[in-house]
Amino acid sequence: MQFLYPYILIAAVVVLLLAAYYIFVGRHRATLIVSSVSRRRAPRTWRTLLRPLPVICRLGALLLLIVALARPVNVHTNSEITTEGIDIVLAMDISGSMLARDFQPERLTAAKKIASEFVVERTGDRLSVVAFAGEAFTQCPLTSDQATVQTMLSRLRSGIVDDGTAIGNGLATAINRLRESGSKSKVVVLLTDGVNNRGQISPYTAADIARDLGIKVYTIGVGTRGKAPYPAVDYFGNETTVMADVEIDEELLRTIAKRTGGEYFRAVDNRALEEIYERINTLEKSEVQVTNHTTYEELFLGWLIAAMLLLAAEFLIERVLLNRLP
């Protein structure tokens, strides 16, 4: 409960002073003195006990009237949130080179985990997952169900399609997911660790299509600089690791990002990849509009009725029970 005119409550101090005066002074003053030779005190009757009630009722009524004049209200605030979401496609390389162990535990697992954390931050957006190696396919269509997107990300595996790196096909498949989108903002986050060596669609052609459709592409090159440990099998069938050169076509990825209005990032370890997704999350903010509606529920009537009842009680006690004359 709040008061719209709280300064009126200062008047309650006057009522409290009157109550204190009555308690300590007024009720002890005699109204009639009768001489008597008897030492016996006048007997206390029920009317004697009721004598302070009219004053108490009047002072209580004054307090209630003051509270009513201060206009007590209950304030109800409702917020209406309107979100203008972004459609985002996560295009992820699942080629054999994504098993390199320069990330912990290896590139693909690290990329899936960090992308999944990115998904949690995109409340109100629709997301899709596209995977590519030698071919490209849609792992998850556009959906606002974050749990579904995370589940489909976790199911990505290397080796489920022909090996290779078809960056153009992967980007074209991602664009196709967004082609019919009615969202004002459409984004592709393309992650790869290699050089385009497969596919029927040129990455440059796919980038031009994305630009014409108003799709922004953020590209991420994954891998340390120089050499990285790759899993291999020796002549005896035992699993081992070999050091191999890391080849990422950074010029291509920069060109794709530049043509579409996005940015290119290079991730050399888990932490760098996390920071890149955090950066993209900051750059692509959903539009959120909050409208507040405030309503006031008037409460003065209850206080006013209570004051009237106390005044009526004062009248009845004085005229009926105590038989006082006006």
pLDDT 10s digits, 269-300: 999 999 999 999 988 876 655 566 778 788 88
Which 3 state secondary structure label does DSSP give 2?
A: strand
User: Per the confidence metrics, is the pTM higher than 0.85?
Assistant: no
Show Cβ contacts of residue 70 under 8 Å, excluding neighbours closer than 6 positions.
3, 4, 5, 6, 8, 9
pLDDT of residue 53: 76
Give per-residue pLDDT as tens, 16-53: 787 777 766 655 554 545 555 555 555 556 566 666 67
Which is more confidently placed, 270 or 61? 270
Best-predicted range by mean pLDDT (46-60, 69-83, 219-233)? 219-233
What's the CA dihedral at 19, 25, 28, 31 to 10 degrees?
Answer: -90
Q: Which residue has the tokens 């009721």?
A: 50
The yes-or-no verdict on residue 140 having pLDDT over 90 is yes
Look up residue 226 and give its two tokens: 């120089």
How far apart are alpha carbons 17 and 247 in whole angstroms?
89
The yes-or-no verdict on residue 318 having pLDDT over 80 is no
pLDDT of residue 82: 59
Angle, helices 146-154/107-121, rounded to nearest 10 degrees: 180
How far apart are alpha carbons 59 and 56 in whole angstroms?
5
How far apart are alpha carbons 61 and 66 in whole angstroms?
9
Which is more confidently placed, 71 or 118? 118
User: What's the whole-number mean pLDDT along residues 234-242?
Assistant: 82
pLDDT of residue 321: 67
How far apart are alpha carbons 141 and 152 in whole angstroms?
10
pLDDT of residue 192: 96
Q: Where are the alpha helices (DSSP H) in the chain?
A: 12-24, 46-50, 53-69, 107-121, 146-154, 167-178, 203-212, 250-260, 270-283, 300-316
Which is more confidently placed, 231 or 127? 127
pLDDT of residue 287: 62
pLDDT band for position 101 (cuts 50, 70, 90): very high
pLDDT of residue 323: 64
The yes-or-no verdict on residue 104 having pLDDT over 60 is yes
Which is more confidently placed, 158 or 2? 158
| Phi, psi (rounded to 5 degrees) for 248 | -125, 130
Peptide bond into 105 cis (omega under 30): yes
Contact 273/222 with Cβ under 8 angstroms? yes
Q: Which amino acid type is present at position 272?
A: A
CATH class as words, domain 86-285:
alpha beta
pLDDT of residue 46: 56
